[in-house]
């Protein structure tokens, strides 16, 4: 791209690091520049000298900008010598932190020599041999210790040969000094640089170790302090707004404006009191919501001891109670399973099963280990704040977990920190307001000079010159502007709440009004949460059989398909209610089977897990399980092992055993493409992809089911050890499970509404591509006459080294021209051909993002359907759209969409909770009607902010002009005239101004974002020209009247005069006129006639103005110090001038400012002059339009063939590193299995050649276990320990006798 483009929204992620600067958290989202300073006595003396001579004003300035105070009173130095550090984050926010030195016991280390405090030696080798062990071993670890992974990052931090630690705290996070890298590093818990096997080696901490870690990590509590009243008071009083108010009141009191100044003081006191009350109320509410502590069982020695959760530290081993609890820390599960509700984090209340962390050191031969990764191992982590519903455990053993993180470092702590230190909304309107205030201050400076010059020429006293000139500054810069700008946001938030849309970030409301692209999740957002069971399509003899809609009609030959539906799920019973994923519930309920889980009594039998049982409803009816010949009389299946669903694997599996069967069986359920790649080719029907496309094009959600019979030699203990990739292969394809996922009735109208408003709609889902394409057409994202181009990316292969892209139509493009179509316009900026959309899946996204970044921009500009996207990829899409210049909204269910919801400019979570920490907005309405509602209210709030800003600016300038005119004759407005204008007119009108509701329909044209666009600047200039002309005319016109008496300067500062009357009377009409003119209705707000408060306010204000102008009683005129003209017809002239003023202002605003010429032609002409102001997506769109040869469409094969080729390519290119990572994730190593291992080894121990040491009558095929192992099998087998490896089972080559072997 040769043309330099200025992206008008902030880029996502941390900015690039600059040379010559030091950073903490480099490359991370919380990356910050850091610089060190030490005190300088000379600098401090000089600064305090100037503070004294400026009467403390310089200190006040430094209070507002504390980092400058440090820079002026300290000398910059290296971080190793720093006593204070200054940090600047990517949002240009400054933080000052004091560097502290503490001993390992937590006591302040005063008077410590520099060479004694060298900090913590962070080694590049994560397992240095001089690092002490954690488990009470204070000796230098041997190579065996190092290789065994018994050393963690925490151990290295707590090296016993270090006496002191240097650190500082900012944003509730502790940073400690690294002597090696000569910088500060974030204090991490066990979630970083710790090997997985470390957790399984943990034996608990001794008391001294716990105390040492408490001193390092602090208390395990998320403390929200309620700020003392006196502190809030000083903070408010010393803010720039109130300092300016106090300065203004001081000037007014000195100038004897007692009434006006007193009213401002009273209002300020009430405002500060309300702020203190609201602040403390919110802090108390947050504290009561967040802070919690409980009693937990912590391992101490050999026993579990009850302690307060505040005393937990990383490395502690805790016991999870059977009946559940609320987690008070982040912990990794070691033994047992937990059913968890993570709605506090995700907004999704579906129970989640957490399984034990696998121990990768089960292989004695490989000796390899992997680092624990919080993201990859999240299904083994119990997060702080989540609710443990119940646990599953082994016999008498505890469900144990190792504490990973505590306090503000936990998942809950991070959310609280994001609330306490929110990401600033870097909105252009907000930046422009500061610039505009600076311009008003410059205008006030001109008035200041004007006042000084004319008063010096008249030899006025210095005090009078000072008071008059300062008074002018308080007029030109409106002190109430910040409060006035929040009015529209406050009313919008109230209206959103009435619409059941809750907001935790009010500053995001204005930003939501600028959204021009919205990403939607599909399932649960565009489509119904629940699915309807449509049918199953079984496979028989390698071919698809007839579709079966009634599951009970499945034949005996299709019994395996029924068994797959009854067992392959993650359902559990919670408080007597079957709970779990909605899809699993619908599938299981359709079978009319029942599920039984072990009770507490059964769970402790035999020192092993009692499995979950499924059986047909009423199968027992009081009968036993076996008959007299010990033959099962009921069909019962036990679920022995569950491989949970993983987005990266796109499948889940279970290992089951049928009552009376001789072997275990595996059932898998998942994405059709994935299951097909794991199935034996001969079991796949030849028309697999054609049938799949037939269903998905109709919008059905299709899952595939598969089966595998495991050899009888595979015993229970091995089942609990075996890794999923070892058994999830060479499956027998059983058929399709077809579910109807209907669109919500609100979806299609809302999508059309957004498209008609030129707002892009994008679907980003984890579902099947063909289903997503069908839903996109059905809901109107893609019009009937518009083409969809499927983008497929292929990685480099042996024959073709470079990755390549292919483009093909998802349907025959000629089909669209043969249909009776109704065109749906997609929002493409000034595109001459917006008749096609791109669609791609997550796998292609990853390849394109890595190898084709420029093409990715084009695809994102035209992309509408993004399928099979992982949660990370959803966030990446949001970020790319933002980098292109879009203002992006995201609407999802809050579960897998958390990252995307947070990354978007306005994320909306569809949740039952009133406020979800997953996104700025939460809608209790479970449909996308909230999206246009939010955009409409955001637009109304933004336009209200624009209108109020223009009103406040024109009010200040109008009053500024009035005072300048009167200053010419050394007069001014009177005390009560100021009071009437500022309190009665301005305050009431600016408050009711923002009460107008949003317009019912979204406009095609988005509202302005910049105050320095042509329209608002021209509006203020033209209106001020009219206001000035009217005031000048009245000022000179009154002097031409025969009864006119000129004003005479007097010592009492009595400003009663005809000149004062003329300027005051016309100006009070002008304030009302400006309020009406700037209170616009369509297309973003309703007409002002629907704002009854504003209309009533206008009636009262106009009535008061008419009374003061035409016939004020004598007492009122005396009160206002108003000299009333003797001629009533002359008084009516002001009414006529005000009417002319109103109509001229109305004509200017309606036919000039809002004209197409100004808003479009003139604005575009100016933007063309400043070409770098274009959005990047506009440049990319222009390139697409110019390049008619791109994309190069391939039409050599059908869509089914393309998907078949893509699936085969995916199977060939399966990444072995991903395989190994997933492999290690799936092996649930537990203490109870170890206890069973010894039992099993007694009965089935084998030598290294894979032959049985003891002949137990097994089939001879068991000697063939290593008969034919391919590379993948070898990779998997190598990761088993000798106790399993030496069983030498080839699961792929089993004779027919194995399955007939009896137990």
pLDDT digits 0-9 by tens, 878-897? 989 988 989 999 998 765 67
- Res. 815: pLDDT tops 60: no
pLDDT of 1275:
31
The three-state (H, E, C) secondary structure of 512-527, written as one string: HCCCCEEEECHHHHHE
Q: Which of 864, 728, 730 is nearest to 790 (CA)?
A: 864
Report phi then psi at 329, rounded to 5.
-155, 170
Q: Report how far residue 568's alpha carbon sits from residue 669's, in angstroms, rounded to the nearest whole number.
A: 7
Hey, what are 1229's tokens? 């190593």
Burial zone of 1281 (CB within 10 Å; 0-12 exposed, 13-18 middle, 19+ buried): middle
Do 1263 and 1297 meet the contact criterion of CB atoms below 8 Å apart? no
pLDDT digits 0-9 by tens, 32-56? 999 999 999 999 999 999 999 998 9
Do 476 and 957 meet the contact criterion of CB atoms below 8 Å apart? yes
CB atoms within 10 A of CB 818: 8
pLDDT of 823:
33
Q: Report how far residue 97's alpha carbon sits from residue 83's, in angstroms, rounded to the nearest whole number.
A: 9
pLDDT of 86:
95
Do 769 and 841 meet the contact criterion of CB atoms below 8 Å apart? yes
Q: Report how far residue 132's alpha carbon sits from residue 141's, in angstroms, rounded to the nearest whole number.
A: 6
Length of the chain as a residue count: 1303
Q: What is 71-135 written as a DSSP string?
A: HHHEEEE-TTT-SEEEEEETT--EEEEE-EEEETTS-B-TT--GGG---B---SSTT-TTPPPSS
Q: Kindly report the CA angle at 1208 between 1204 and 1209, in degrees rounded to 5? A: 115
pLDDT digits 0-9 by tens, 1136-1188? 999 999 999 999 999 999 888 888 888 878 877 765 567 889 889 988 888 88
Of 158-167, 664-673, 709-718, 1071-1080, minimum mean pLDDT range: 158-167
Q: Report how far residue 347's alpha carbon sits from residue 349's, in angstroms, rounded to the nearest whole number.
A: 6
Q: Report how far residue 313's alpha carbon sits from residue 218's, in angstroms, rounded to the nearest whole number.
A: 8
pLDDT of 1046:
93
Q: Report how far residue 664's alpha carbon sits from residue 655's, in angstroms, rounded to the nearest whole number.
A: 7
Q: Three-state DSSP class for 706?
A: strand
CB atoms within 10 A of CB 1175: 19
Of 103-117, 362-376, 1218-1232, minimum mean pLDDT range: 1218-1232
Distance of CA 252 to the CA centre of its chain: 48
Q: Which of 520, 519, 503 is nearest to 511 (CA)?
A: 503
Do 792 and 805 meet the contact criterion of CB atoms below 8 Å apart? yes
What dihedral do alpha carbons 262, 264, 269, 272 form, nearest 10°? -170
481 compared with 270, residue with greater pLDDT:
270
1271 compared with 501, residue with greater pLDDT:
501
Q: Report how far residue 481's alpha carbon sits from residue 982's, in angstroms, rounded to the nearest whole number.
A: 12
pLDDT confidence of 1236, banded at 50, 70, 90?
very low
Q: What is 1185-1229 written as a DSSP string?
A: HH-TT-S-B--SS-HHHHHHHHHHHHHHT--HHHHHHHHHHH---
Q: Which of 443, 353, 389 is nearest to 961 (CA)?
A: 443
pLDDT digits 0-9 by tens, 401-435? 999 999 999 988 887 887 777 777 666 777 788 88
Instruction: Compute the chain's Rg from CA coordinates.
Output: 37
Q: Report how far residue 524's alpha carbon sits from residue 520's, in angstroms, rounded to the nearest whole number.
A: 10
Q: Report how far residue 911's alpha carbon sits from residue 892's, in angstroms, rounded to the nearest whole number.
A: 9
pLDDT of 909:
87
Alpha-helical (H) ranges within 291-355 are 343-346
- Res. 800: pLDDT tops 80: no
pLDDT digits 0-9 by tens, 308-328? 999 999 999 999 988 788 899
DSSP label at 42?
H
Hey, what are 1020's tokens? 């203020």
Hey, what are 139's tokens? 């000796």
pLDDT of 558:
84
pLDDT digits 0-9 by tens, 1249-1297? 333 333 333 333 333 333 333 333 333 343 333 333 333 333 333 333 3
Average pLDDT of span 1023-1043: 95
From the list 316, 330, 471, 521, the catalytic residue is 521
Packing angle, helices 240-254 and 258-290, rounded to 10: 160
Beta-sheet strands, E only, within 210-310: 295-300, 303-308
Q: What is 378-425 written as a DSSP string?
A: GGGEE-TT-EEEEEE--TT--EEEEEEE-GGGSHHHHHHHHHHSPPP-
521 is catalytic: yes
- Res. 24: pLDDT tops 80: yes
297 compared with 154, residue with greater pLDDT:
297
Burial 782-817 (b: 16+ CB within 10 A, else e): bbeebbbbbbbbbbeeeeeeeeebbbbbbeebeebe
Q: Who contacts 584 (Cβ-Cβ below 8 Å, separation ≥6)?
A: 569, 570, 571
Q: In whole angstroms, how far apart are CA 19 and each of 22, 28, 657?
A: 8, 17, 63
Q: Report how far residue 956's alpha carbon sits from residue 879's, in angstroms, rounded to the nearest whole number.
A: 41
Average pLDDT of span 203-217: 87
- Res. 103: pLDDT tops 90: no
Percent of the chain topping pLDDT 90: 31
- Res. 622: pLDDT tops 80: no
Q: Which of 988, 1168, 1171 is nearest to 1068 (CA)?
A: 988
State how beta strands 863-867 and 760-764 pair.
parallel
Q: Which of 404, 397, 216 is nearest to 328 (CA)?
A: 404
Do 518 and 901 meet the contact criterion of CB atoms below 8 Å apart? no
pLDDT digits 0-9 by tens, 718-737? 887 788 888 998 999 999 99
Hey, what are 920's tokens? 């700025």
- Res. 1024: pLDDT tops 90: yes
Do 751 and 706 meet the contact criterion of CB atoms below 8 Å apart? no
- Res. 244: pLDDT tops 90: no
Average pLDDT of span 588-595: 89
> Side-chain half-sphere of 1195: how many Cα atoms within 13 Å?
8
Average pLDDT of span 618-632: 55
Packing angle, helices 66-73 and 57-64, rounded to 10: 120
DSSP label at 141?
P
List the beta bridge partners of residue 762.
519
Report phi then psi at 536, rounded to 5.
-125, 150
pLDDT of 1250:
37
The whole model's pTM is what? 0.74
pLDDT of 634:
65
Q: Who contacts 722 (Cβ-Cβ below 8 Å, separation ≥6)?
A: 641, 655, 714, 1227, 1280, 1284
pLDDT of 1208:
60
Average pLDDT of the chain, as a whole number: 79
pLDDT of 53:
93
């Amino acid at each position: 791209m040769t043309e330099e483009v200025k992206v008008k929204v902030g880029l996502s992620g941390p900015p690039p690091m600059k040379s010559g600067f030091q950073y903490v958290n480099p490359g991370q989202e919380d990356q910050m520049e850091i610089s060190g300073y030490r005190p300088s006595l000379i600098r401090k003396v000089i600064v305090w000298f100037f503070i004294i001579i400026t009467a403390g004003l310089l200190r006040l300035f430094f209070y507002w900008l504390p980092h400058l105070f440090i820079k002026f009173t300290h000398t910059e130095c290296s971080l190793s010598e720093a006593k204070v550090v200054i940090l600047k984050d990517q949002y240009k926010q400054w933080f000052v932190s004091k560097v502290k030195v503490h001993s390992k016991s937590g006591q302040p280390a005063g008077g410590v020599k520099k060479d004694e405090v060298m900090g913590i030696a962070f080694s590049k080798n994560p397992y240095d041999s001089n690092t002490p062990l954690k488990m009470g071993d204070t000796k230098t670890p041997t190579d065996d210790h190092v290789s065994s992974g018994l050393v963690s990052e925490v151990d290295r931090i707590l090296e016993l040969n270090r006496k002191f630690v240097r650190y500082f705290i900012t944003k509730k996070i502790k940073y400690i000094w690294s002597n090696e890298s000569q910088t500060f590093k974030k204090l991490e818990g066990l979630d970083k640089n710790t090997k997985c096997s470390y957790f399984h080696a943990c034996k608990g901490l001794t008391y001294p170790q716990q105390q040492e870690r408490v001193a390092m990590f602090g208390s395990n509590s998320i403390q929200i302090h309620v700020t003392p009243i006196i502190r809030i008071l000083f903070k408010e009083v010393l803010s720039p707004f109130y300092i300016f108010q106090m300065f203004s009141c001081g000037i007014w009191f000195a100038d004897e404006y007692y009434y006006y100044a007193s009213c401002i003081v009273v209002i300020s006191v009430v405002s500060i009191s309300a702020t203190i009350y609201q602040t403390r109320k919110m802090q108390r509410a947050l504290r009561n919501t967040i802070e919690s502590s409980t009693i937990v069982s912590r391992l101490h020695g050999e026993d579990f001891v009850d302690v307060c959760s505040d005393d937990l530290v990383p490395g502690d081993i805790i016991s999870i109670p059977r009946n559940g609890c609320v987690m008070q820390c982040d912990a990794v599960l070691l033994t047992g399973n937990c059913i968890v509700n993570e709605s506090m984090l995700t907004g999704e209340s579906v129970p989640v099963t957490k399984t034990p962390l696998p121990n990768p050191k089960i292989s004695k031969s490989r000796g390899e280990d992997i680092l624990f990764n919080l993201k990859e191992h999240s299904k083994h982590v119990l997060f702080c704040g989540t609710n443990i519903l119940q646990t599953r455990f082994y016999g008498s053993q505890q469900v144990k977990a190792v504490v990973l993180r505590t306090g503000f470092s936990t998942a809950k702590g991070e959310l609280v920190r994001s609330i306490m230190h929110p990401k600033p909304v870097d909105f252009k309107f907000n930046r422009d307001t500061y610039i505009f205030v600076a311009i008003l201050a410059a205008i006030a400076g001109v008035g200041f000079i004007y006042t000084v010059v004319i008063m010096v020429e008249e030899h006025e006293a210095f005090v009078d010159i000072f008071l008059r000139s300062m008074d002018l500054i308080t007029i030109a810069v409106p002190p109430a502007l910040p409060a006035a700008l929040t009015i529209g946001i406050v009313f919008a938030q109230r209206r959103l709440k009435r619409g059941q849309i809750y907001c935790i970030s009010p500053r995001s409301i204005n930003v939501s009004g600028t959204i021009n692209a919205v990403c939607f999740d599909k399932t649960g957002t565009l489509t119904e949460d629940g699915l309807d069971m449509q049918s199953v399509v079984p496979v028989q003899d390698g071919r698809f059989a007839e579709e079966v809609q009634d599951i009970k009609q499945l034949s005996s030959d299709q019994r395996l398909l029924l068994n797959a539906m009854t067992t392959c799920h993650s359902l559990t019973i919670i408080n007597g209610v079957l709970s779990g994923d909605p899809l699993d519930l619908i599938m299981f309920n359709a079978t009319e089977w029942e599920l039984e889980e072990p009770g507490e009594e059964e769970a402790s039998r035999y020192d092993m897990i009692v499995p979950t049982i499924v059986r047909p409803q009423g199968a027992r009816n009081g009968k036993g399980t076996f008959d007299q010949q010990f033959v099962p009389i009921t069909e019962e299946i036990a679920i022995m092992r569950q491989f949970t669903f993983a987005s990266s694997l796109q499948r889940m599996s279970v290992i089951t055993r049928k009552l009376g069967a001789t072997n275990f069986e595996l059932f898998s359920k998942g994405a059709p493409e994935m299951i097909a790649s794991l199935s034996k080719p001969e079991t796949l029907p030849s028309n697999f992809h054609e049938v799949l496309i037939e269903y998905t094009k109709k919008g059905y959600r299709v899952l595939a089911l598969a089966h595998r019979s495991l050899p009888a030699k595979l015993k229970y203990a091995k089942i609990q050890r075996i890794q999923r990739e070892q058994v999830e292969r060479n499956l027998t394809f059983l058929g399709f499970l077809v579910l109807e996922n209907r669109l919500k009735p609100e979806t299609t109208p809302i999508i059309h509404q957004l498209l008609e408003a030129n707002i892009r709609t994008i679907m980003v889902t984890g579902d099947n591509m063909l289903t997503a394409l069908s839903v996109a057409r059905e809901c109107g994202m893609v019009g009937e006459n518009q083409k969809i181009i499927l983008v497929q990316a292929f990685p480099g292969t042996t024959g073709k080294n470079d990755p390549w892209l292919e483009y093909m139509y998802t349907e025959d493009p000629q089909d669209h021209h043969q249909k009776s179509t109704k065109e749906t316009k997609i929002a493409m900026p000034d595109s001459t051909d917006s008749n096609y959309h791109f669609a791609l899946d997550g796998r292609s996204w990853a390849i394109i993002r890595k190898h084709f970044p420029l093409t990715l921009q084009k695809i994102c500009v035209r992309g509408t359907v993004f399928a099979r996207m992982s949660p990370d990829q959803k966030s990446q899409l949001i970020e790319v759209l933002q980098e292109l210049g879009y203002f992006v909204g995201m609407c999802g269910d809050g579960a897998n969409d958390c990252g995307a919801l947070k990354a978007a400019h306005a994320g909306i979570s569809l949740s039952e909770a009133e406020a979800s920490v997953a996104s700025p907005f939460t809608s209790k309405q479970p449909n996308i009607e909230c999206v246009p509602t939010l955009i409409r209210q955001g637009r109304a709030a933004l336009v209200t902010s624009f209108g109020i800003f223009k009103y406040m600016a024109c009010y200040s300038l109008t009053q500024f002009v009035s005072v300048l005119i009167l200053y010419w004759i050394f007069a001014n407005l009177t005390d009560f005239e100021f009071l009437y204008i500022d309190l009665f007119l301005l305050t009431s009108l600016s408050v009711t101004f923002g009460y107008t509701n949003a317009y019912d329909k979204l406009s095609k044209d988005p509202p302005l974002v910049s105050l320095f666009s042509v329209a608002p600047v021209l509006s203020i200039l033209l209106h001020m020209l009219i206001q000035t002309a009217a005031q000048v005319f009245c000022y000179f016109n009154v002097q031409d009247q025969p009864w006119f008496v000129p004003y005479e300067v007097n010592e009492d500062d009595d400003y009663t005069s005809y000149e004062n009357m003329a300027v005051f009377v016309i100006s009070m009409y002008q304030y009302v006129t400006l309020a009406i003119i700037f209170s616009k209705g369509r297309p973003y707000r309703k007409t002002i006639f629907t704002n009854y408060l504003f209309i009533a306010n206008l009636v009262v204000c106009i009535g008061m103005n008419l009374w003061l102008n035409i016939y004020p009683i004598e007492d009122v005129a005396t009160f206002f110090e108003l000299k009333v003209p003797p001629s009533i017809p002359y008084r009516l002239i002001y009414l006529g001038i005000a009417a002319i003023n109103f109509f001229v202002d109305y004509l200017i605003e309606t036919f000039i400012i809002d004209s197409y010429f100004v808003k479009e032609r003139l604005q575009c002409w100016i933007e063309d002059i400043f070409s770098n102001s274009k959005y990047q997506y506009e440049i990319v769109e222009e390139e697409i339009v110019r390049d008619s040869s791109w994309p190069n469409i391939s039409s050599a094969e059908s869509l089914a063939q393309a998907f078949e080729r893509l699936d085969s390519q995916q199977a060939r290119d399966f990444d072995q590193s991903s395989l190994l990572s997933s492999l290690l994730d799936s092996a649930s190593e537990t203490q109870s299995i170890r206890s069973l291992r010894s039992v099993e080894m007694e009965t089935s121990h084998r030598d290294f050649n894979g032959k049985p040491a003891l002949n137990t009558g097994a089939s001879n095929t068991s000697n063939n276990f290593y008969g034919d192992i391919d590379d993948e099998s070898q990779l998997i087998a190598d990761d088993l320990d000798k106790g399993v490896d030496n069983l030498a089972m080839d699961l792929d080559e089993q004779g027919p006798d194995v399955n007939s072997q009896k137990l």
